[in-house]
């Protein structure tokens, strides 16, 4: 009888211990609001959760890349807009300068204006966004264009300081990259150097050379066309970035819901489960007390 009672007590104690562990797990679920708090809670669920969280983490990185690209390209678009305005004004000046009715003094005044446009063009060419030169290719920490000035301080030549043709890319989705810079080489240097056009125009105005002024007008039109094309490309990229952002944000909502389905606990259900386990535990304690009394009677 004593052996049987001892076995009953041992079994009961094991059951009580298991009940306490289950109660503890339910309490942890309620405290964390998570269904899975350790791998043993749901091994297959943990695997799915890890995969979904990896997808979410990747999407968040793509969204950060998109934000960086959008800011940079938006700034570039503004700079191209400024260049378009500058070149449009320069074109009007050139048309005026080509007039046969202008005096030498009037053309000299226009030459001084052209010189100011040249200085503005240089400022745009060396524009910086968050400390990085946007038209310097992959060389973003050094000004892409350096000038040589004469004794009066006027620019007589402009040279690149490095490789202004380098392209910068960002990954905006899995396997999808996008160039996020406009190269200085493509914008200012070739096939016609915007800097040299202004230097030559300034000199043609001072030389009262209407033929050379007319040549400058043709080149300015080509540069304007180049700026317009690049603005269009940047605008298309900004639209593409917005579409990618919308797609990733929608995907994140779906992934977030899937993670919630796997990880999050149903609070109402968890409370009921906890109460059930507590009821069973209390009943087991009553049984344990009765077994203790029976053991005492046996001893007597």
pLDDT tens profile 146-167: 999 999 999 999 999 888 899 9
Residues 19, 114 within the same domain? no
pLDDT of residue 9: 61
Residues 78, 18 within the same domain? no
Tell me the C-alpha distance between 128 and 65, whole Å.
19
Residues 82, 204 within the same domain? yes
Q: What domain range includes position 126? A: 71-256
CATH number reported for the structural domain that contains residue 209 in this entry: 1.20.1330.10
Q: How many domains does the chain have?
A: 2
- Give CA torsion, residues 125, 126, 130, 131, to 10 deg: 160
Please give the residue that has the higher pLDDT: either 110 or 32.
110
Residues 236, 277 within the same domain? no
Residues 278, 232 within the same domain? no
* Cβ count near 66 (within 10 Å): 23
pLDDT tens profile 38-55: 666 666 667 777 888 899
Q: 3-state SS of the chain?
A: CHHHHHHHHHHHHHHHHHHHHHHHHHHHHHHHCECCCCHHHCHHHHHHHHHHHHHHHHHHHHHHHHHHHHHHHHHHHHHHHHHHHHHHHHHHHHHHHCCCCCCHHHHHHHHHHHHHHHHHHHHHHCCEECCEECCCCCCCCCCCEEEEECCCCCEEEEEECCCCCCCCEEEEECCEEEECCCCHHHHHHCCCCHHHHHHHHHHHHHCCCHHHHHHHHHHHHHHHHHHHHHHHHHHHHHHHHHHHHHHHHHHHHHHHHHHHHHHECCHHHHHHHHHHHHHHHHHHHHHHHHHHHHHHHHHC
pLDDT of residue 38: 65
pLDDT tens profile 64-74: 999 999 999 99
Q: Beta partners for 173?
A: 176
Tell me the C-alpha distance between 14 and 23, whole Å.
14
Q: Has residue 286 been placed in a domain?
A: yes
Q: Has residue 63 been placed in a domain?
A: no
Residues 165, 235 within the same domain? yes
pLDDT of residue 191: 86
Residues 248, 273 within the same domain? no
pLDDT of residue 296: 41
pTM above 0.95, yes or no: no
Q: Has residue 59 been placed in a domain?
A: no
Among candidate residues 162, 136, 134, 158, the one with its CA nearest the CA of residue 146: 158
Whether the predicted pLDDT of 2 surpasses 60: no
Residues 147, 18 within the same domain? no
pLDDT tens profile 16-27: 666 666 665 656
Q: Has residue 38 been placed in a domain?
A: no
Residues 191, 233 within the same domain? yes
Residues 9, 125 within the same domain? no
């Amino acid at each position: 009888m004593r052996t049987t009672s001892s076995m009953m007590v041992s079994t009961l104690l094991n059951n009580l211990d298991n009940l306490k562990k289950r109660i503890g797990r339910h309490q942890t679920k309620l405290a964390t609001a998570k269904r899975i708090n350790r791998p043993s809670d749901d091994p297959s669920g943990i695997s799915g959760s890890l995969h979904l969280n990896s997808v979410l983490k990747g999407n968040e990185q793509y969204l950060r890349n998109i934000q960086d690209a959008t800011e940079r390209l938006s700034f570039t678009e503004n700079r191209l807009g400024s260049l378009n305005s500058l070149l449009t004004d320069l074109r009007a000046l050139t048309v005026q300068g080509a007039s046969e009715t202008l005096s030498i003094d009037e053309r000299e005044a226009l030459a001084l204006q052209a010189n100011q446009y040249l200085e503005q063009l240089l400022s745009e060419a060396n524009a910086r966004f968050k400390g990085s030169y946007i038209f310097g290719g992959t060389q973003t920490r050094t000004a892409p264009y350096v000038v040589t000035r004469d004794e009066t301080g006027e620019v007589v030549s402009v040279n690149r300081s490095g490789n202004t043709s380098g392209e910068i890319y960002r990954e905006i989705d899995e396997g999808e990259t996008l160039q996020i810079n406009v190269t200085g080489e493509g914008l200012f240097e070739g096939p016609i150097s915007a800097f040299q056009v202004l230097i030559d125009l300034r000199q043609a105005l001072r030389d009262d050379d209407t033929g050379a002024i007319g040549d400058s007008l043709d080149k300015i039109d080509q540069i304007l066309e180049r700026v317009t094309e690049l603005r269009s490309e940047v605008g298309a990229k900004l639209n593409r970035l917005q579409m990618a952002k919308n797609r990733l944000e929608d995907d994140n909502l779906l992934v977030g819901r899937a993670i919630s389905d796997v990880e999050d606990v149903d609070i109402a259900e968890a409370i009921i489960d906890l109460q059930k386990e507590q009821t069973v535990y209390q009943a087991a304690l009553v049984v344990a007390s009765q077994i203790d009394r029976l053991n005492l009677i046996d001893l007597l």
